Amino acid sequence: MPFGRLSRVPWLRPVVGAWPWALVAAVLVAVRLSKGALLSDAYALLSRPFWPGSAQKEWLQAAQQLDQQTRLSQLELDNRRLRRLLDLQRASPGKVTAPVISRETGDWWHQLVLGAGGLQGIRAGDSVIAPGGLIGRVASVTPSTARVALLTDSASKVGVWVGRTQRQGLLAGVGSSRPVLLFLEKDPQVRPGDVVVTSPASTLVPPGLSVGVIQSVDEKAVPATLAVVQLSAPVASVDWVQVLTRQGPAAAGS
């Protein structure tokens, strides 16, 4: 046995006894020679439970959303400027924020009463928007209140536009929480999920306000196709709304 015989040499005995240190030194040399490959692999294995997870994803999504919002506001500004150049929208609407002080959404009448009125510049016929889109139009005004006829009221009718297929329709309330979209032609080629916005040809409401999403389509209805629309604004729980005031008829004509 050469190893046993070597260990019997007196001056070699500490060198042979230090073989674990030789192993450590060899590993360190290997790490050095491989530029730390072993080390980073071991670190990756150990730190796997702490790798970046959902939090960072949320930051990225928030940044993306911010980017999209800035681009949207930029495009809106562009759009307004171009429309003004084309003289399509004569009076740019002012916005009056108003609290909802009475809400009757389940009765025969679907109406809101707002805590702002003629003194704040609201006129009958102004459009009312909530977070989510258009909810109705002002029906009558007192000096400090305004009564809003919701889109779900059975007397409400507004011209709308399905952007994907570029079709016009008439949004009519039926007294339930979901108004009905009446199309003018037999085959409008819409399907559930299509987004409904206010019509670019409408003179009653500003163009391009989002209204809702088509929920179901009845193609066998007479005289033309009929669709049920889910409003995108939560009408039954909205507390503050914005009224898009128009300038008076004299100012608009100039």
Partner 1 sequence: MASLHRRPLFVVSALAVPLLTLAAPGLLRIGGVPPSWAVLWLLPWALADGPLSGALAGLALGLLLDCLHLGGATQMPALALLGWWWGRLPRRGPPIERSFSLGLLAMLGSTLLGLSVLLQRQAGAGWAVLLTAANLHTLLAQVLVTALLAPMICSLLLLLWRRHSASARG
Binding footprint of partner 1 on the chain (CB under 8 A):
101-109, 111, 113, 139, 147, 149, 153-155, 174-177, 236
Smallest separation, CB 108 to partner 1 (Å)? 5
- Both structure tokens of 84: 């003004």
Smallest separation, CB 190 to partner 1 (Å)? 21
Smallest separation, CB 247 to partner 1 (Å)? 25
- Both structure tokens of 10: 């007196």
Q: Are strands 167-172 and 111-114 parallel, antiparallel or unpaired?
A: unpaired
Residue 181 or 197: the one with the smaller Cβ distance to partner 1 is: 181
Residue 137 or 161: the one with the smaller Cβ distance to partner 1 is: 137
Q: Is 160 exposed, middle or buried (0-12, 13-18, 19+ CB in 10 A)?
A: buried
**Three-state DSSP class for residue 85:** helix
Smallest separation, CB 106 to partner 1 (Å)? 3
**Three-state DSSP class for residue 207:** coil
CA atoms within 13 A on the CB side of 133: 18
Q: Do 193 and 122 touch, CB atoms closer than 8 A?
A: no
Q: How many residues does the chain have?
A: 254
Smallest separation, CB 101 to partner 1 (Å)? 8
Residue 161 or 183: the one with the smaller Cβ distance to partner 1 is: 183
Contacts of 97 (CB under 8 A, 6+ apart): 116, 240, 241, 242, 243
Residue 83 or 178: the one with the smaller Cβ distance to partner 1 is: 178
Residues 98 and 117: their CA atoms lie apart, in Å, by 9
Residue 51 Ramachandran class (φ > 0 left, ψ -120 to 50 alpha, else beta): beta
Smallest separation, CB 152 to partner 1 (Å)? 9
Residue 88 or 236: the one with the smaller Cβ distance to partner 1 is: 236
135: how many CB neighbours lie within 10 A of its CB?
27
Residue 22 or 155: the one with the smaller Cβ distance to partner 1 is: 155
Residue 105 or 202: the one with the smaller Cβ distance to partner 1 is: 105
Residues 217 and 221: their CA atoms lie apart, in Å, by 9
Smallest separation, CB 84 to partner 1 (Å)? 34
